[in-house]
Structure 1
Amino acid sequence: MAPRSLDVLLLLCTVCCGCVMSLELVPSDQKKVEKPEGDRVTLECKYTVGPQDTGALDIDWTLVAADTQLEDQQIIMFSGGMPYIVNDGLRDRVHFTSSDPSDGDASIEIINLKSADTATYQCKVKKPPGTQNRKISLAVYIKPAKTRCFVEGAQKIGMDINLKCASSDGTAPLTYLWEKVSGQKLLPKGSVADEATGVLMVKNASQEYSGTYKCLARNRVGTDECMVVLNVSPPTNVGGIVAGAIIGTLLSLGLVGLLVYFCCKKQKEKKYEKEVQHEIREDVAPPKSRTSTARSYIGSNHSSLGSLSPSNIDGYSKSQYNKVPNDDLERPPSQVPNFVLPKYHGLTVV
């Protein structure tokens, strides 16, 4: 019985030693990995082989199908001492981290991650008779981006105001945190912040609530922020504005009325001046013709000649007679009036 027990013990030791020395994957706590879009990730898969693992080495990375009825998709493989990239969607973005995966490191790196890369990845190492595999879950998130802050509601004392924050990009779930970054740096008393919707509700606003507020949007892989200025002011005096508008309108109408009055007055004055000038012209007698003037002048001289003596005829003829207008003297003989000079003591005046 003793020899048989010893043989059994030796056999068990041999089997156990063979198990320890066969192909094994190095333990890793990398079960689930979360990364932001555009980043890179290393999926670990290191291994050791035993003396009895003498077969050809094959390393195969696949995308595990979410539906068990579908086949897994190959990504990259190492066979016959050469690496091969199989998946076209990852052709330019995946590679083995080691230049020689046969040295015990079958890890891969994926660069420029996309949200579509979210999946479960499996590393399978075969070196007959040993075979081992490991699954790693990868989640690719989009960081919050294009976050916008704004104020909703009238920024007046006593009013209810909402400060809102929202990110256009980012993988859910997103959370929003508000803080005041100016003044006392404390959120208004009684305000309520909703982390899920990004709304900060401010009740019965006062001027001390004025200041700069910052909103921080975040998810599992990143953050983004924005700022907004709150300026709480006294309510507007609506009655004063209306009264001012009415007064301004009345003043404008009064000014227009004065302009119209002066324009009309000016037009009347001009019209009156024209009428006066016209009446004066009608009252003035027309000037006498030069012919009648000349005749009357000559007739008056003729009557005055009766009292002239021969001694003053020369002076008279040189002074008084010469006052007859020249144009009458230049008339043709047919138009000159005929008159006979009187005789004085046997002399005829010429």
Structure 2
Amino acid sequence: MSAFSILFLASCSVWLGEAQTEFKRVAEENVTLPCHHRLGLLEQGSLDIEWLLHISETVQKAVITYSGGRVYDDLNEEQKGRVSFTSNFLAGDASLQIISLQSSDAGKYICKVKNAGQYEWARITLKVVEKPSKPKCWLEGELLEGKELSLQCRSASGTAPISYRWQRLSEEDERAEQLPPNSRVNISNPGQVLLKNLTQMSTGLYQCVATNEAGQESCVLQVTVQHAQNISMIAGAVCGVLVGLSLLFLVVRLTIRRKEKKRYEEEEAPNEIREDAEAPKAHLVKPSSSSSGSRSSRSGSSSTRSTANSASRSQRTLSTEATPHLTPPQYSQQQLDGKEEPKKADYNHLVKVAVPAVMVPAQSRAFQTV
């Protein structure tokens, strides 16, 4: 190889190194990283092309390579299916194309071309920026006249820095307008706007716009300021409805319980009558004996009947007082179970024993001896 050729290749290498070294693209877009060489004219069978991604000073990953007449584009799992050579890399254009960029694609790329012991390379820095995600808008405070209201806005993701801007929208054509005079923006947190001393003029649509170098997203809030008097009326109406419903429920409950009680009393009345009724008890007739009185009455004459009657009444009185109180016989458990028959009480014997001897008046005896 002549000295002129070597000088030319060296100049090309310098040109590749001094070419545009930084690209900035938005996520989800496509990018082409340039790499041109002239080594394909030497020996095509020994041409090698390699793209590397430097993660750090000591760590790097192979993105795509050409070696031994074959292309290898599945070396990096995160970029598999998204990288390729853009043109005829054998003729001198070994540029790398990456589609559907992701934040993990950002880094320093090196293109190395080798053929017949000669080298060429290119260094390119790729930056991938993400536009803000759709921000979330919310309110903090009371929507009442005279109160304070805070408007909050924040994006969950996106390349920093992200700036926030609140504006009011016209309800007719949604044209951007300035915020009310009583609004204040938080300097330390631009996503927060404080509306002080709310009035009916504060009612309307408010939009938050989140912006960075990759793009912007927005969200909208509806602010409706209410009269304090209207709130009181609504609260009173709600309380009245709740009280009315409670009273109605109580009346229905009492009515149901009254019907249940009445039905229970009607069902229990016949049972109470049957339980309170008692079977008639058998009364024991106490036998009275006054044989001596009767004998004296039969033996006496008609003139002494009154005396005999008096004696008979005295005998009956004494017999009643002397007769013990008769109680029903007591049965043992065996008798109740039917194993032993109860013994009958001899009431006649009790009567005979209980009746004492009756004193017959002397006058009566005198008449008997006659």
Instruction: Please list every run of 5 or more consecutive structure 2 residues that lacks an aligned counterpart in the other structure.
Output: 252-370
Q: Distance in 1 between the 2:25 and 2:190 partners?
A: 24
Cα deviation for residue 187 of structure 1 reads 0.9
Q: 2:79 aligns with which of 90, 114, 121?
A: 90
Structure 1 counterpart of 2:62: 74
Which residue in the other structure is 2:48 paired with? Answer: 58
State the Cα distance separating 1:97 from its structure 2 match: 0.7
TM-score between both structures, scaled by the size of structure 2: 0.54
The residue aligned with 1:175 is: 163
How many residues align structurally?
237
Aligned 8 A contact 2:137 2:219 in 1 = yes
Q: Distance in 2 between matches of 1:210 and 1:244?
A: 25
Quote how far apart the aligned CAs of 1:218 are: 2.4
* Conservation of the 8 A alpha-carbon contact between 1:46 and 1:106: yes
Distance in 1 of aligned mates of 2:66 and 2:138? 55
Do the aligned partners of residues 21 and 136 (structure 1) sit closer, same or farther apart at CA in structure 2, a change above 3 Å counting? Answer: closer
Under a length normalisation based on structure 1, what TM-score does the superposition of the two structures give?
0.57
Give the root-mean-square deviation of aligned CA atoms: 3.7
**Structure 1 173/132 Cα, relative in aligned 2: closer, same or farther at 3 Å?**
same
Whole-angstrom distance in 1 between the partners of 2:238 and 2:90: 89
Tell me the percent identity: 31
* Deviation of the 1:129 alpha carbon: 4.8
**Further displaced range: 15-24 or 87-96:** 15-24
Alignment of 1:1-350 (within 5 A): 18-22=6-10, 23-24=12-13, 25-26=15-16, 28-36=19-27, 38-49=28-39, 56-66=46-56, 68=57, 70-85=58-73, 86-98=75-87, 100-182=88-170, 185-194=177-186, 196-236=189-229
Q: Residues of 2 paired with 1:192 and 1:201: CA distance?
A: 5
Q: Secondary structure at the match of 1:102?
A: coil
Q: Is the 8 A contact 1:182 1:213 kept in 2?
A: no
The answer for the alignment partner of 1:7 in structure 2 is none
Distance 1:127 1:17, change over 3 A: closer
SS at match of 2:90: helix
Partners in 2 of 1:146 and 1:205 — Cα distance?
28
| Alignment deviations for residues 244-272 of structure 1 (CA, whole Å, 9 cap, x no partner) | 899x69x97xx99xx9xxxxxxxxxxxxx
Distance 2:186 2:231 in 1: 34
SS of corresponding position for 1:145: coil
The letter of the residue matching 1:93 is R
* CA distance in 1: counterparts of 2:86 and 2:40, whole angstroms: 23
Assess, with a 3 A threshold, how the Cα gap between structure 1 residues 235 and 57 changes in structure 2: closer, same or farther. same
Deviation by residue 1:214-241 (Cα, 9 ceiling, x = unmatched): 1112233232111111122333367777
Q: Give the SS at the match of 1:19.
A: helix
Give the C-alpha shift of residue 94 in structure 1: 0.9
Q: Which runs of 5+ in 1 are unaligned?
A: 1-13, 260-350
**Distance change >3 Å, CA 71–CA 166, structure 1 → 2:** closer
Query: Is the Cα–Cα contact under 8 Å of residues 156 and 235 in structure 1 kept in the other structure?
Result: yes
Indicate conservation of the 8 Å contact 1:46/1:104, yes or no.
yes
Cα deviation code 1:181-220 (max 9, x no counterpart)? 1168211214233485511122222222221111112233
Please give the secondary structure, in 1, of the residue aligned with 2:123.
strand
For the residue of structure 2 that corresponds to 1:132, the secondary structure is strand
* Segments ≥4 residues shifted beyond 6 Å: 237-246
